[in-house]
Structure 1
Amino acid sequence: FERSYDIADQNRFFGPKQLTLNDQPLPAVPENEGYYVTSAIAQRGVQWLNEHHAQHRDQPFFLYLAFTSPHFPLHALPEDIARYADRYVSGWDAIRQQRWKRQREVGLVGIELSALEKSTVPSWNLAEEELQRRLGPGEVGYAVPWTELTAEQQRFQATKMAIHAAMVHCMDRDIGGVVEHIRALYDFDNTLIFFASDNGASAEQIIRGDLHDPAAPLGSAKSYLGLGPGWSTAANTPFRKHKHWNHEGGISTPLIAHWPAGIKSRGEWRRSPGHLVDIVPTLLELAGLAPPASFNDEPRPSFPGRSLVATFANDEPVAHAPLFFKHQDNRALRRGDWKIVAAGKDAPWELYNLVTDRSERLNLADKHPDTLAELVAIWTARDAAYAQQGATGTPLPRPGQAKPKK
């Protein structure tokens, strides 16, 4: 990139201590300076759009905005939190049912709701007793039925979700500001905009950064809260599990494409599976560019992704190789309608038909052992190939670090 603004401190939305601008370290931001990282990212984007328009207005631009919201900790502007103060008092069970009903009404999904897994939490989460000792008696460690919570716990949990919603609200507002700036400066109808998320909602509950002050307002810089498994389950409706796992709740995210001059369809669903690795091949095709053969004088591996351009016109399958997933010993592979997934290093493989069972309720491993074995063999070979590929070549430095010498 010709310009970059990197936040290597995801623990502080109001006063980050690790920032770089164009790979050069910036001083830490004082907490009382009025800084909020979501808005800061958008403001940099607007600044660079202005610079590009002043210097290269007849040339195309590429802008990548990677917001940290709504990653933990739950930090949001108080005026945005107030908007949602009473929105979630009905609890995660009711909200989950409401969202599932709405999803079916608009045609987004036609599947059953995934089974509730009360005790599914990351192994590094703090124990419930420790959470309550450090965060207060309103915290809970598991996705138990809402009716089992005390009144104090319900108030605390409803506030947490209000903060999460406020983080999304601010991000939405700031994205809107960037979009309106593009509309004012450029040929908006001929600008392709992708919106995507990186993973499902997180059930993590840990305390980092400047820790948590129980006396501080929830959502402020002195607080440190995670969404937790109850609200994460609701946020991932109708899918199973959370971020960290490779079940659909951890990896299924939306991709929205807006390009009036190039996409004639309006408001249509595309159900063909895609992956983040498809974005670069898509952009290269639209730009009329071939993938580079090397990078930093080293051979570049072939792209695992495929262009999504054909799906702009029709909901047709992308000619993918099987989609590979691995994260913290959780594993998955999708080929066509079939998906294998395992929740942990030593966990057995599960097999699902995602056309009929995307909520992953019916494990078909015993009924289709040949399909299972074939997909496991593909995953194993891909895993070995990626491990070998990662062991060669020169690693890229983090922003702000010196580039390795040859």
Structure 2
Amino acid sequence: MPNDAEILLALFDAALKAALPDGQFDGRLPLRPKGRTIVLGAGKASARMAAAFEEAWTRAGGICEGLVVTRYGHAVPTRSVEIVEAAHPVPDEAGLKAAGRILTLAREAGPDDLVVCLMSGGASALLSLPAEGVTLADKQDLNRALLKSGAPIGEMNLVRKSLSAIKGGRLAAAIGKAKLVTYLISDVPGDDPGSIGSGPTIPERVDPDVALEILRKYGIDVPDHVLRTIRSNAVTEPVAGGAVHMLSTPKMALDAAATKARELGLTPLILGDALEGEAREVGRVMAGIARSALLHGEPAKAPCVLLSGGETTVTVRGQGRGGRNAEFLLALVLSLKGERRISAIACDTDGIDGSEDNAGAWFDASLFENARAKGIDLAAHLDRNDAYTAFAQLDRLVVTGPTLTNVNDFRCILIRP
């Protein structure tokens, strides 16, 4: 059997391949319109989605045009759909301009046209178009505060919608009478279409009181003019939306990893694709489950892997270099106290754990002893949110570069008999 590192990385690779949009449009294409086919999109996977759609659409005899915005470093070659890059997770001027152009293209669509929207995780920050009364700087400040607050992604996106001129179904409203089809790659717990990229084409009501309560809950103070905009930017009667297709989800990625595990002679157990909570607390809970499997054969008997997805959060208290997956993994290591028959990997499927250059990290039985030999105080690193540095010093980072997809976190705990 392969060693622990080889197994963990093979399962992560299987999950990534299942989450790519390549070939996912086959059998899901709309009818060709009398007029234009306009492709609009945003997100970390949107450029790869645009290339995959172009290929499928061309094979079907169609032509298309349009504009997609993705994160810096995530562009891929396309034939006719323009790809632009912008900042994530804090929006910048490039994202603002791209969002304005996308809204203009949507408004130009006529009743004989087809608008294809390609959305994936990251679209909320990349497609930043402030509502009247707030500036890009206002949204940048609020995004930074939300990212440090420990708020789950669903609550962050509710606040973002309340200050947006394009999210929360507002892009669908701009499209008007043109036919609308939306394709999604889910990075949110539960795969709610309205939460993916803050749902630019998913009609919904936007309640200002909900956004204001979230700000109060996390103690986030905003200027009076921002509060006024939140109150005035409500959506009480959302327009009708078009068809929605889910191309990839966290569950699909976990299922692919489970299939690979069986090929390697391991029993897979998927604990859930929508786990949330403080990263270090989830790590401690997972350590208890792993110990139970090792000692009692429950909830799975070794050799086995415990798989999970979702999106944990980190409440930033220290000044270290972190990432929620690295923080989860460091808490898991500390809780296991060097147990030699358990190893694990935790990575973000977009290739970026937080704002660092790694997808995540991994550990095996030797890590605890290696840290002690090098004088690395793992508990101190966790206290200051500095998990990245700890795993870097121990040569346990997972660095993939942009994966061009995003189905959120992938966690795998390997338990040997």
- TM-score of the two chains, using structure 1 as the length reference: 0.25
- The structure that is helix-richer by fraction is 2
